[in-house]
Structure formats: structure tokens, C-alpha cells
Structure 1
Amino acid sequence: MATAAVGGTLVIWWPAFTLGAYNAVFFDNVLALWAVATSVLLSGVVFRSRGALPWGGWIALSLPSVWIILAIVAPRGHGFPYLHYFEAALSLVGAPMLTWLLSRILVSDYAALPLLQRLGAVAVTVAIGVLAFLLGKFNYLFLTCSDFDVSGNNSPAGCAHGKPFNRF
């Protein structure tokens, strides 16, 4: 279960942080979710392990590809005005769903586990997402604008001015 929780938190922490810091989920976050979901989907197809997931899981793993198709077909000039809501929902709901799906695939006796243990990995992923959002929202408490600049990110509104914190 810990492996699935780690996989889910690796996908959710940065989108949740940027949502808190910038009020946006960036495209590279959604593409990371797409890469993980698509690799699990294709692995299931290659290894023919469809029985490991319900049909809803296969649909959930396909959603990041749907986002890419929508982004491609949306008119460039006008855009699809609500596509960014789909991006945020896909990232923030998709990571816990991906954790659940990974748990079903990676844990051979998943169905025999008590419900609380089955939900544990998803709960850890959700908790990390909430904490990462709060860290992004209150980034000025422990980061400076220079920290964002040095890392190659734009400084979010309301960041603390000053030199980057010395970490080592």
C-alpha cells in the first residue's frame, strides 16, 4: 500500500502546491499524470490484466488522454474556456484515483484487506495533496521569491522578498 501511496503523492504534490501558490495547475503537472496513467493503462493492455481493474478504472486511466484530445481540438483563438477546470479536477481527483488503481494492481490480496487499509493509501495521497496546497498558499512563510526564481519558476503573488534560504 505504501508503494501506491508514494506513487499517488508524487503525482499530486506539485499540482496541489502550484494551485495554492499560483491559483493554477500547470500543463506539465497534467502531463505527468497523463504519463503515469497511460503507463498503467498500457501495462494492463500488454499484460492482459484487465481483471485487476473494474471498467471504471480503465475509463479513469483514459481521462488524461481525453484532456490532451480536448486541448488539441479546442480552437486556439477562443480556447475552451473551462479546460483549466478539467485540468485541476483531473490532477487533484486523478492522483487519489490513480493511487487506488495502483493499490488494486500492486497488492495481490487487495480485496481481502479491511476497508480502512484499502482506503489508507488514498487517504495518504489526499492528505499530501491538501498539505501541499497549504504549503503553496502559505509559501511566504518558508520560501522567498528568490527561491522560486533560482528554481526556474516565476515568483507567485505574495511571496516573501529576500535571498534564497540556504538549505545546505
Structure 2
Amino acid sequence: MAGIGGPAPEDGAAADEGAEPDDAVVGGHVALPSAPPVGPDDIVDPRAKAPRSRRPPVGGVLLFGIAIAMWWPAFTLGAWGDLFFDQLLTVWVASTVMVFVVLLQPRPYPRRALQVALLLIPTLWLVLTFVPADDDENFGVLLGEILALTVALLGIPFTIWTLARLVWPEFGSQLGRGRRLVAILALVVTTVGSYALGANQEHFLTCEDFSISGNSEPPGCVHEPTPAPAP
């Protein structure tokens, strides 16, 4: 029942004058939370550079892999004066697989024909080995020997390089001219050094070292000194 002398209060009106309004709703609108105060440490200098992301040393990993694959053919060439058939056939298998990988790359693929032609060099060497030779002066024999050296000394790094470019397309652009020269120089030094070690194996290896590792004794190797019999 309404009091005398004034209208009845509406339903939902605040009963207590000291009640505070809800923090989430002020005047019928949703109030957003206030931002924390900004201190001097929170001010970002626009001239400051963003931290550079650390790129993985892809070039170093690639160079390491090529050097590991190259040292043994170079060493055998210096120690035995020849290349083992398993080394050449390994390069042929890897390069043949890479030929199909390159051919299956979507267009456009730069220098596709050149890469395929270079990767087919081990196949050409293998075909020439089936050509009958009458004597050692046959042109096919000479060409086969040259291709065998090319397969072993150039086919291995080129095959690995092609694989790296397929896995990391931006790899070539990450290496400047100076880094490429350093990588080539390091590869040449390790390959020539491995050949020199093979050619001078008698100074630090023995025939027994080759025998116990499952290899044949290279020409010019020295045997371990036989201990004198006890008196």
C-alpha cells in the first residue's frame, strides 16, 4: 500500500541510498577494465631493432657431410691409386635417385636440365664400363677413367648440394660469395689432405692396420716390426 503524500516507489529501485552501483555496469553501459599504469621501463624505443632469429648453421652441416663423404674416396685414390667399386656405385645410386627427384619438382624449377645432365654423369660412366676395350689406349677406357674420377670427386658434393637445395630452397641465397669461397676452400683442403695421407700411408700406418680393418694391403705399406725372440 502506497504511503500518503507521495507515489509508491517502482519495483527494482535501490532501497538503500548508500548502495554502490555494480562495477561491471555503470549508467547502463559495460565498463571496461582500466589499463595498468605505464612505467619508464615499458616505453619502447622505435629506433631499437627487433632481436634477430638465430638461423641453423645449414652451411656448416652441409660442408661437414660432404667432407665425411669425400675423405675416403680421396684416401683410397692416394693409397691404392684407384677407386673402389662400392664408392662409385654408391654415387651412381644417389645421383640416379636425385635425377627422378629433380624431374618431379613442380614448375618452375630453375636449371632443371643442367642439374639432370650433371646427375647423369655417373650413369654415363657405368654405361662406358660395359664397352669392350681391346687395349689400354682405347679412347673409351680413357674416358671411363676420367668419368670415374669425376664421379668420385665431383659427383658426391654435387649430389649432396642438389639434395640440400631441394630441402632448403633458400639455402643458396643465405650463403654469400665469401662464405661459398671459404666452403670450397675447406672442401679442397680436406680432399687434397686425404689424398696426401693415402699416398703417404706408410709413414703412419702399417699393413696390419689395413688388414684388421677389412681392407687389402695397399702397395708400399710397411709391416709391423717383429719382436725379437726371447733368449
Compute the TM-score of the two structures, normalised by the length of structure 2.
0.60
Does the residue aligned with 2:141 lie in a helix, a strand or coil? coil
Q: Deviations over 1:14-72 (max 9, x none)?
A: 21101110111122221121122223222223444771555322211111111111112
Report the equivalent of 1:69.
127
Runs of 4+ in 1 over 6 A off after TM superposition: none
Report the equivalent of 2:218.
156
Report the equivalent of 2:185.
123
Number of equivalent positions: 162
Further displaced range: 37-46 or 56-65: 37-46
Structure 2's unaligned 5+ residue stretches are: 1-58, 226-231
Trace 1:64-143 onto structure 2 (pairs within 5 A). Answer: 64-72=122-130, 74-75=131-132, 78=135, 80-82=140-142, 83-109=144-170, 110-143=172-205
Report the equivalent of 1:58.
116
Does the residue aligned with 1:108 lie in a helix, a strand or coil? coil
Q: Offset of 1:76 from its aligned partner? A: 6.2
Further displaced range: 23-32 or 98-107: 98-107
Q: Does the Cα contact within 8 Å between 2:98 and 2:159 map onto a contact in 1?
A: no
Name the aligned partner's letter for residue 27 of structure 1: F
Structure number with higher helix proportion: 1
Q: Does the Cα contact within 8 Å between 1:99 and 1:121 map onto a contact in 2?
A: no
Structure 1 84/47 Cα, relative in aligned 2: closer, same or farther at 3 Å? same
**Larger-Rg structure:** 2
Structure 1 39/64 Cα, relative in aligned 2: closer, same or farther at 3 Å? same
For 2:132 and 2:118, the matched residues in 1 are separated by 25
For 1:94 and 1:150, the matched residues in 2 are separated by 30
Further displaced range: 143-152 or 90-99: 90-99
Structure 1's unaligned 5+ residue stretches are: 164-168
The structure showing larger relative contact order (alpha-carbon pairs under 8 Å, at least 6 residues apart) is 1
Compute the TM-score of the two structures, normalised by the length of structure 1.
0.79
Does the residue aligned with 2:220 lie in a helix, a strand or coil? coil
Report the equivalent of 2:98.
40
Structure 1 48/27 Cα, relative in aligned 2: closer, same or farther at 3 Å? farther
Name the aligned partner's letter for residue 161 of structure 1: H
Structure 1 122/31 Cα, relative in aligned 2: closer, same or farther at 3 Å? farther
For 2:125 and 2:153, the matched residues in 1 are separated by 14
Does the residue aligned with 1:81 lie in a helix, a strand or coil? helix
Q: Offset of 1:114 from its aligned partner? A: 1.1
Structure 1 vs Structure 2: percent identity of aligned residues? 30
Name the aligned partner's letter for residue 6 of structure 1: F
Q: Offset of 1:161 from its aligned partner? A: 1.0
